[in-house]
Amino acid sequence: MIATVNKDWREFNPSPFSTRYFSVPELSELLRENGFNSEFYGAFLALPKGFKDKLIATIKRIAVALHLIPKTMKGKEFFKRIFFGKLIPLPPEITEGMADYTPPVPIPDNSYNYEYKVIYAVAHPIPIKFSLS
């Protein structure tokens, strides 16, 4: 199983600590070339819901395009506080019922996906067929 950020998500901002990201078709091809069948799923719907979400998404896309997003976590935290208000720290342990669960949605492996923030690939080795000739 592979979980990765969706590089085709319109608000995607590459990390300064990563060197390569894959689209769904690229990851599908890479897995196929290396002997795997795969199924793909999208998670965390990235479509803005209301006017405020659409405005923030537009501002973020512009900031990403103009390379205005800070590279440090402290800088990113500062901007998140400006747009979202007080940040709530994650608890040390995740417990049942602390958030709504939305299951990943099957997506095609041969087209770019702009709807989900996270892509999951479930890969299985392609069975090798032997011939006794």
Q: What is the pLDDT of residue 100?
A: 85
Nearest of 65, 45, 13 to residue 118 by alpha carbon: 45
- Res 105: pLDDT: 96
β-pair partners for 95: none
Provide the domain count of the chain.
Answer: 1
Does residue 115 form part of some domain? yes
Boundaries of domain holding 32 = 2-125
pLDDT given for residue 87 in this prediction: 84
Residue 130 domain flag: no
pLDDT score at 104:
96
Residue 133 lies in a domain: no
pLDDT of res. 133: 66
* pLDDT at position 36: 95
Whole-model pTM: value is 0.76
What's the pLDDT tens digit per position in 1-58? 999 999 998 888 888 788 899 999 999 999 999 999 999 999 999 877 888 878 877 8
Return the exposure string of 27-48: e unless at least 16 CB atoms fall within 10 Å of the residue's CB, then b: bbeebeeeeeebebbbbeebee
pLDDT tens track for 54-101: 887 788 888 878 888 787 878 888 888 887 788 888 888 888 888 888
In the predicted model, what is the mean pLDDT of residues 100-126?
94
- The Cα–Cα gap between 112 and 42 comes to 11
Q: Which two tokens stand for residue 111?
A: 């087209």
The percent helix, strand, coil of the chain (3-state, each to 5) is 30, 20, 50
User: Which of helix, strand or coil describes residue 29?
Assistant: helix
* 54 is a domain residue: yes
DSSP state of 112: -
Residue 132: inside a domain:
no
